[in-house]
Amino acid sequence: MSEAIHHTHEEHETSPWPLVVGIGVLLSAFALLSGFAWQMPLLGLVLGGTTLAIFAIGLSGWAREFFLTSHDEGLGPIAVSAFIVSEVIIFGSVFAAFWVGRVENLQQWHTFVPEGLNLMFAVWLTLILWASSFSMLFAERAFSQGDKSRSLKWLSITFALGVLFVALHMNEWSHLWSEGFTPGANFFATSFYGLTGVHTSHVLVGLFIHAVLFYVIATGLMTSERTTFFKGASLYWHFVDIMWLLVAGNAYVIGGAI
């Protein structure tokens, strides 16, 4: 009887790391509000940096705790697949709103398209994300073969390509803003930043996941017998890459057509 009670108590665990990550999520909202709604860019920058630090600490601590104390049930890919279904609904809603607005503003749409919108630039961004998908595949394959060093190299390349994508995208936004193509300027501007912004936010989440993945591999917390996290991270990254094709097709091809 005492053994049963003791076993029951062992099944109930507490962890501070979800709370830490939750605080990071809360601060991220205040960072965005400070920078864009409250017109306090310095505060937004400080809160944004603090948010990144909290995320880094919370996610790394959570991952370390999992790999040291928990069991791998192999449900990661299933959970990520279910999450992706919900994400498809979110993206689908944004696409639907864009299509309706595109039809309703058909006659004046040519006045919405900025001169700086470059379809070839979207092609380069696509190639960067495609390359990152291949490097992610190589990283996962190398790890499954027991070559941790090669896996980390490919994972680093994937991370670098993701950072390059975000940096180039933000630089494009800056140039478009300088032309007056700002959120709220017209329907296309609002839709463009809505589509590309939602996607870029998912790329940033993927980069956070990559950083945690790199940490657990480099520290030896992840073994060849426990690769569920790797499979889930890889599945999420491929989803982000595939969604970019739809985002770019709408924002640059359909939206940029005059």
Q: What is the pLDDT of residue 70?
A: 66
- Top-tier CATH class for 74-254: mainly alpha
Residue 41 half-sphere exposure toward CB, CA atoms < 13 A:
0
Q: What is the pLDDT of residue 17?
A: 85
User: Which CATH number, 1.10.20, 1.10.1220, 1.10.3470, 1.10.287, labels domain 1-70?
Assistant: 1.10.287
| 11 has a pLDDT exceeding 70 | no
Q: What is the pLDDT of residue 121?
A: 93
Residue ranges of domains in the chain: 1-70, 74-254
Q: What is the pLDDT of residue 127?
A: 96
Residue 250 half-sphere exposure toward CB, CA atoms < 13 A:
25
| 41 has a pLDDT exceeding 90 | no
Q: What is the pLDDT of residue 71?
A: 67
List the structure tokens of 158.
């994937």
Domains 1-70 and 74-254 share a fold: no
When pLDDT is cut at 50, 70 and 90, the band that residue 249 belongs to is very high
For 141-182, the DSSP string reads HHHHTT-HHHHHHHHHHHHHHHHHHHHHHHHHHHHHHHTT--
Q: What is the pLDDT of residues 183-238, one digit of tens each?
A: 888 999 989 998 998 899 899 989 988 998 998 899 888 887 778 889 889 999 99
**First vs last C-alpha separation in the chain:** 76
Q: What is the pLDDT of residue 7?
A: 46
Q: What is the pLDDT of residue 207?
A: 93
Q: What is the pLDDT of residues 87-144, one digit of tens each?
A: 888 888 889 989 999 999 988 988 998 988 999 999 999 999 999 999 999 999 999 9
Q: What is the pLDDT of residues 166-183, one digit of tens each?
A: 999 999 998 999 889 988
When pLDDT is cut at 50, 70 and 90, the band that residue 75 belongs to is low
Q: Work out the number of other CB atoms within 10 angstroms of the CB of residue 123.
A: 12
| 74 has a pLDDT exceeding 70 | no
